[in-house]
Structure 1
Amino acid sequence: MFRKTKLVAENQRVLVFKNQELNNVLTPGKHKIWDIKNELEFVTFDINTMYFSEKNAERLYRNNKELREHISHWKLECTEVGLLYVNDLLRGVVAPSEHLYLWKDAGEIRLEKVSIDENIEVDDKALFLINRAGANTSTRLIKSERTVAIKPIADLNVVKDHVGLLYVNGQFIKRLAPGQHAFWQFNHTVELKSFDCRTQMLEVSGQEILSKDRVSLRINLSASIKVNDAELAASSVESVDDFAYKTLQLALREAVGTKSLDDILLDKLYVNETVKELVVERLSDIGVSLLSVGVKDIILPGETKAILNQVVEAQKAAEANVIKRREETSATRSLHNTAKVMENNPTLMRLKELEALEKVSEKIGSLTVYGGLEGLMNGVVKIA
């Protein structure tokens, strides 16, 4: 059959190739075409997809005037990013150095170019439009003959009471205040390092350490630190917490390992002061201050603890015995002094006798007296 009929829908465009060379572009409608030698080939495109993604798009666009009437072309520099708008709605982001071919009849199309040569920060308006369009999670880009997905923007969030450090391609750029920030990451590696500027507590728990006299101790240490210079800390260590933890751990081992158990128990502040002295300067060198440090627990092995309890019990018993003997001696000396006073003072002697009588009468229900008061006193004294 020499004459062919081709029906083109409203959303379609058909490229007619003759001997693999673009010959014509069919617009919507019914077309009758002569093909005597069966040399024609028809390629149908849906313009609703917007993208003219023919593998030879660049060559076809350059060599065919009729095709250029249906296709719009944009070329981005290596330092430019494109914001693609269709009917005033953002539809996607185009990567640097890309060629973009779009069907003109797909809508009112415009490409807004943004330079990322010196400033890669995304302004709030552009970020809002990109996020609303969902273009930051699955952006359609044309790369040669294929469509790919890429995340064009790095969303960085600095939480409250933190300081953020922005690094681009490994170089420190600036400090970021708490809040949401966004940066183009085409041609760049964007990284955020965040530091908590509040006082932080570190727990160095369960440290098994031998004292100088080879007693195994389990010690729990607590310390509070604060980051003063975030830039210095970021350039000095990978992790402030890890560095501080290991520094405290080594200082604790050094402090305990050079003292005997008795010395440690006698001077409870020795470990705290020694650890602080060893650590404070090392932390200061990385922009961190050590605010406080203290031993929470010193746990002895079971056998050592039992022996120590026996020693303490014996010491307390000896101390109690000394106190008891001291009090007995003091009481005897007091009685001796009282006796010497009464020996030369009959009146005082009589008062002591009356006092004794009073104590005896408290325990007697009835008392028969013979010989008067003198007989009573003599009888009481004689009985006593």
Structure 2
Amino acid sequence: MPDGSTCFGTDYPAATTSTRAALTVGLVDAKPQRLRLTRLSHPTQTAKPARVWGNATQFLKDNAMLFKTKIIVPETHRGLLFKDEQFVEILPAGVHTFYGWKNQYRVQQFAVTGSAQTFVPEDVVSLADLHADKFAAHLQRWETGEQEVGLLYQDNVLKDIKPPAQRGACWQGQRSIEVRKLDISTDFKLPKALASQLLTAKDATLRAAALNALVMATIPEGHTGFLEVDGEQREILTAGTHVWWQFNHTIKVTQLDCRL
């Protein structure tokens, strides 16, 4: 081997200028007949092809954590999953992971206590109209006609009053929720038992609903009452307490003292 040494390359014999330009970069050593060269590349060498991923989503899962969305739904909640602002499904309690572009997934959470006072917003009720099959197991829906009143019961205990021509929903929970409807098209006077229950209600929500839904008149002994509905005389009232649904009607009661 000549006195000149070679590092990280190959010891070549004398090379032409074109060869040096195409293949190598080097420095001339002490002997002008030989070159000390370090090989960089060959013009005919084929670059190693990049690895092609057949599943781009899998690639993102393995290599791009910023596209991972983790959602935790508490035990007392349910989540509405949206992808690109389009409803997908209702998520139960638990940990849920999604992969996609930034802000592609969104979850709207609601408390689900099974209480009659936990109402579902109107926009969610409208969404349930479009996806009835996906919401059926999660919502207790109700709707009253123009001549109907709804009595909302939780575990067979009266909790609220629903006016005519209204609709809504409650989240299904461990408690039983039921809406019983009453026809008030012809008879809008309350039975004594129901009237007494509403007038003496201790639950704040039920008491407030009763004040907005009822008209009450108390006729003392020795007096006579006259019921007027929508400007027409309807009935003569005896002494006692009388209660009517005030929906859809204008109710007025006058009294006459009949004592001598």
Class of the TM-score when normalised by the shorter of the 2 chains: 0.5 to 0.7
1:24 equivalent among 89, 92, 95: 89
Root-mean-square deviation (Å): 2.0
8 A contact 1:92–1:130 mirrored in 2: no
Q: Which residue of 1 aligns with 2:104?
A: 39
Aligned match of 1:75 = 143
Counterparts of 1:282-321 in structure 2, within 5 Å, are none
Question: Which residue pairs with 2:154 in the alignment?
Answer: 86
Name stretches of at least 5 consecutive residues in structure 2 with no aligned partner: 1-65
CA contact (8 A) 1:93 1:135 kept: no
Residue deviations 1:81-104 (CA, integer Å, cap 9, x gap) = 000001111110011111121212
CA 1:72–1:97: 2 relative to 1, 3 Å: same
TM (norm. structure 2) is 0.67
Higher relative contact order, structure no. (Cα contacts within 8 Å, ≥ 6 residues apart) = 2
Maintained 8 Å contact 2:159/2:206: no
Cα distance in 2 between the residues matched to 1:194 and 1:158: 7
Go from structure 1 to structure 2 and tell me whether the alpha carbon gap of 1:23 and 1:32 turns closer, same or farther (over 3 Å shift): same
Equivalent AA in structure 2 for residue 111 of structure 1: V
Q: Which 5+ residue runs of structure 1 have no aligned equivalent?
A: 140-148, 200-384
Count of matched residue positions in the alignment of Structure 1 and Structure 2: 189
* Offset of residue 129 of structure 1: 3.0
Which secondary structure does the structure 2 equivalent of 1:57 belong to?
A: helix
Residues 309-360 of structure 1, C-alpha deviation per residue, up to 9 Å, x if partnerless? xxxxxxxxxxxxxxxxxxxxxxxxxxxxxxxxxxxxxxxxxxxxxxxxxxxx
For residues 206 and 219 of structure 2, the distance between their equivalents in structure 1, rounded to whole angstroms, comes to 19
Distance 1:171 1:85, change over 3 A: same
> Is the partner of 1:96 in helix, strand or coil?
coil
Give the distance between the partners of 2:217 and 2:100, measured in 1 at CA: 60
Structure 1 CA distance, aligned partners of 2:255 and 2:206?
23
Per the alignment, do residues 67 and 130 of structure 1 end up closer, same or farther by CA in structure 2, a change over 3 Å counting?
A: same
Matched, 1:159 2:220: yes
Decide whether the 8 Å contact of 1:136 with 1:152 is kept in 2. Answer: no
Give the equivalent residue in structure 1 for 2:182: 114
How far residue 56 of structure 1 moved from its aligned partner, in angstroms, is 4.9
Which residue of 2 is the match for residue 197 of structure 1?
Answer: 258
Following the alignment from structure 1 to structure 2, what is the Cα–Cα distance between the partners of residues 134 and 115? 25
- Checking the alignment, whether the CA contact within 8 Å between 2:125 and 2:168 is kept in structure 1 is no
Q: Give 1:136 deviation, angstroms.
A: 5.9
By how many angstroms is 1:138 displaced? 1.7
Structure-2 separation of matches of 1:129 and 1:22: 42
Question: What is the DSSP-based 3-state SS (H/G/I as helix, E as strand, rest coil) of the residue aligned with 1:138?
Answer: helix
In the TM superposition, what whole-angstrom CA distance separates every residue of 1:67-125 from its partner, at most 9, and x where no partner exists? Answer: 22211222211111000001111110011111121212262011111010110000122
How far has the Cα of 1:10 moved from its partner?
A: 2.2
Alpha-carbon distance, 1:190 to partner: 1.3
Match of 1:138 in 2: 208
Cα deviation for residue 54 of structure 1 reads 3.8
1:154 aligned counterpart, secondary structure: strand
Percent identity, aligned pairs only? 25
Contact 1:157 1:181 in 2 (8 A): yes
Other-structure match for 1:184: 245
Alpha-carbon distance in 2 for matches of 1:80, 1:129:
19
TM-score normalized with structure 1 length: 0.46
Secondary structure of 1:105's aligned partner = coil
Conservation of the 8 A alpha-carbon contact between 1:136 and 1:151? no
1:257-296 alignment, distance < 5 Å: none
Q: Is the CA contact 1:90–1:129 (under 8 Å) kept in the aligned structure 2?
A: no
Which secondary structure state, in structure 2, belongs to the residue aligned with residue 7 of structure 1? strand
Shift of 1:156: 1.3
Distance of 1:137 and 1:192 partners within structure 2: 22
Q: Secondary structure at the match of 1:113?
A: strand
